[in-house]
Amino acid sequence: MPNLETYRVAIAQIAPVYHNKAASLTLALEIIAQAAARGAQLVVFGETWFPGYPVWLDVCPTAGLWNHEPTKRVFAELRRNSLVVGGAETQALADACRQHKLGMMLGCNERVDRGPGNGTLFNSLLTFSAAGELVNHHRKLMPTYTERIVWGQGDGSGLESVRLDAGAESPRVGGLICWEHWMPLARMAMHQAGEALHVAVWPTANDKAQLASRHYAREGRCFVLAAGLMMRTADLPSELPHTVTDEWVERGGSAIIAPDGSYVVEPMYDREELIVADLDLNMIDRETMSLDVTGHYARPDVFQFSCKALSPG
């Protein structure tokens, strides 16, 4: 990897306007402008930030009941406020990246309106370059537990790293969603993609998420931006009863981790903030001396790995 200068990144640990597409877009555009004003070259939003994670699946006991009318109404609201790739909202986000000259990785609920997959929601991670181009589109491979009520299975086409800026020395950036970090072969696919920066998006980046994120950084010899969501308990759907009493039902936990597994920014909980940090990418070269899981340490004479990528519908 070439000798690189410091790279400035930002994590938007700021709650969206829950289930409100127009207001969440306005807020996202404001955050992009704030990140650019602080010199960030990449801004990251957590898992399904747009328009919010369906945490009601976990904390509202009636949400998982079959053919439950209140849950269907909540799902319909989520679907109406989800992003359509190539739609007006994603175009506005792309334009903002181009205007402010920074890259972005955005977790979203993605709605498919026509063609194969029509009617399905996906848990997606969209990557925009500083030129305002959608340069990677990853759909969560395996929704976890009750998430399968809401989202369909993704495919392997987004298991790739990309450059967000012009030039051969721009660092390669990739990402995985939540429990994909426990899938060894998904990790290996991304390690082979040559990430310098890895984005790990979570609902709350709790202790298990911190463990997975730190392990990923140390294994992959890359920086990890662990992005957690903020969601107010007051935003839980009124149609679905719950017993949560804390102010926050999603608590953030965003952190930035170095290639040796140490924290550049410690996990931050229970407050909204635009987290900004400078990364010394030369650290990747230093730490690769200790471990290189896709190089000679992989023992390709003993093990072979392949990733079958399927195009999205």
**Crossing angle of the two packed helices 184-192 and 207-220, in degrees rounded to 10:** 40
**Is the CB of residue 125 less than 8 Å from the CB of residue 98?**
no
Tell me which residue has tokens 């009636």: 62
- The upper half-sphere exposure of residue 96, i.e. CA atoms within 13 Å in the direction of its Cβ, equals 24
Residues assigned a catalytic role: 47, 140, 178
215 token code pair: 């392990």
